[in-house]
Amino acid sequence: MRWHFLIDENQNLMQLKSIHIYPLKSARGVVLASAQLTARGLDGDRRWMLIDPQGKFITARQLPQLVLIDAQTTAAGLRLQVAGQTAIQVPTPTRERAKVMVTIWQSPCPARIADAAANDWISRVIGHPARLVYLDDDCLRGVAPAWSEPGDQVSFADGFPLLLIGSASLDELNRRLPQAVTMARFRPNLVVQTALPFIEDSWRQIALGGVRLAVSKPCTRCVLTTVDPATGVKNGNGEPLKTLASFRRTALGICFGQNLIPRSVGRLQIGDRLSVLA
């Protein structure tokens, strides 16, 4: 009985602490005070992505310097900037542009290619031939059927519309690390103020403000967590992934955070209270 009381007490303290989108997959994140939640995630999140000449996605796993690109959505499209280069304004591809098939992991989907100037700029910045693609509203990509319901959609995110992490989970990880890291290492969309580490692992359905979300699958972590978002340099000792592996390894992999799928849409804002529904 005392345990249930503690859980209820801590639930009363849980609220949305920060909101993050990543307009260009693997580029620098943008912190927001509020955001519109759509069926495929936060508005403006990971609607742009880089692909190689074969149409395969390019991320900071292969090219860590991508985390240093500042990407901001604009009314006309996307603004890209990186130190040492003139910024570029990329117009959103029009519907007249033909769709091409791109691949994210084993998930193919259609997208539209940005103009030649944008592709030249990004290829020069990263030092590799690349094209910038846009996920238009009519370019649909489903969530893996094993973890979703029919009709669930996702952007260019790895697999799910949203990633949530509790603040106490990062506190516990930092307690074990030789050097603390920031939440930016893990590229969440939603950070919730929590009192108990990894309490989010026990949730199945939650409400944030006026929207409902399914807690679908633990987020398995990879080498991208070893890239410092401030410098674009990988940690030579494999941290924080090395420490995470020592106490967060599961049958799925090394897990940190929970993937979410919206079950309703609406506006999210800092301070929204989180309620556990199941």
Is 47:102 a contact under the CB 8 Å cutoff? no
Give the span between the Cα atoms of 257 and 250, in whole angstroms: 13
- Buried-state track 101-138, b at ≥16 Cβ within 10 A, e below 16: ebebeebebbbbbbeeebbebbeebbeeebbbbbbbee
The number of folded domains in the chain is 1
Q: Which domain holds residue 24?
A: 2-276
Could you read off the pLDDT of 205-242 as tens digits, one per residue? 999 999 999 999 999 999 999 999 999 999 999 999 99
Q: Assign residue 139 the CATH number of its domain.
A: 2.40.33.20
pTM of the model: 0.94
Is residue 261 within 8 Å of residue 160, measured between CB atoms?
Answer: yes
Q: Give 144-201 pLDDT, tens digit per residue.
A: 999 999 999 999 999 999 999 999 999 999 999 999 999 999 999 999 999 999 999 9
Confidence of residue 13 (pLDDT cuts 50, 70, 90): confident
Which residues pair with residue 34 across a beta bridge? 269
